[in-house]
Chains A and B, each alone.
Chain A
Amino acid sequence: NAGVTQTPKFQVLKTGQSMTLQCAQDMNHEYMSWYRQDPGMGLRLIHYSVGAGITDQGEVPNGYNVSRSTTEDFPLRLLSAAPSQTSVYFCASSPSDRLNTEAFFGQGTRLTVV
């Protein structure tokens, strides 16, 4: 019963490096999203997707790219990492953006950019 799986759990990057945070869900959910959690800022929406092939920007999209080629996967790409992107990243999925259902979250990826 995997649910939402995020990899890696921890990552340290040097400024300017690129990397992809992986997110996979096995519940056939249409809606997926990425958040970052920072002290005092709560959870802020980075990007979201309402289905395969469709993505849109959230509150803080700059410096991040996403794609949704399959229903199951929603990777988040950091193009050129900056110290301001040090954060804990959460991926979430829900059956549909339109139904009144909750989102299920992964365990998070703690990213440090030095």
Chain B
Amino acid sequence: DQQVKQNSPSLSVQEGRISILNCDYTNSMFDYFLWYKKYPAEGPTFLISISSIKDKNEDGRFTVFLNKSAKHLSLHIVPSQPGDSAVYFCAARDSGTYKYIFGTGTRLKVLA
């Protein structure tokens, strides 16, 4: 029973365009959401996060949007760069158990 879902296993985007990665969740106890980026043979690295009391957080080219009523969050990368090519995981923290649950990941490929 996947509590955090990333329904797109892969995404290809042209350099300079916007990349939009989506994530859905089912657990209403999640109160903190994060995006991680992972290159091959490396551990995941933190990218950006958002608290459940906010609906948007921006950091440079990266913006995360949270729609609590739809239990949906998205990561926007503008403009996309070839170095952004990686696997992106969304994660959510359960405010009751403090477990961090990850999605299945989306492989982003930015084409030069």
How many contacts A-B (CB < 8 Å)?
Answer: 58
Q: Measured between C-beta atoms, what is the minimum distance from B73 to chain A in Å?
A: 15
Bound complex: CA A105 to CA B49 (Å): 16
Count residues of chain A with CB under 8 A from any CB of chain B. 27
Bound complex: CA A42 to CA B9 (Å): 10
* B45 and A105 contacting across the interface, CB-CB below 8 Å: yes
Bound complex: CA A61 to CA B9 (Å): 25
* A102 and B98 contacting across the interface, CB-CB below 8 Å: no
Closest to A59 in B: B101
Bound complex: CA A85 to CA B80 (Å): 36
Chain B residue contacts of A108, Cβ below 8 A: 41-43
* A100 and B51 contacting across the interface, CB-CB below 8 Å: yes
Chain A residue contacts of B30, Cβ below 8 A: none
Q: Measured between C-beta atoms, what is the minimum distance from A85 to chain B in Å?
A: 18
Could you tell me which residues of chain B, from 4 to 59, have a CB within 8 Å of some CB in chain A?
Answer: 6, 9, 32, 34, 36, 41-46, 49, 51
Bound complex: CA A85 to CA B73 (Å): 31
Chain A residue contacts of B97, Cβ below 8 A: 56
Q: Measured between C-beta atoms, what is the minimum distance from A62 to chain B in Å?
A: 16
Given contacts A42-B6, A102-B34, whether A33 and B100 have CB atoms under 8 Å apart is yes
| Extra inter-chain contacts (18) besides given A104-B46, A108-B41, CB under 8 Å | A31-B98, A35-B102, A42-B105, A43-B91, A43-B102, A43-B105, A44-B102, A50-B98, A56-B97, A92-B100, A97-B93, A102-B34, A102-B49, A103-B46, A105-B36, A105-B45, A106-B43, A107-B42
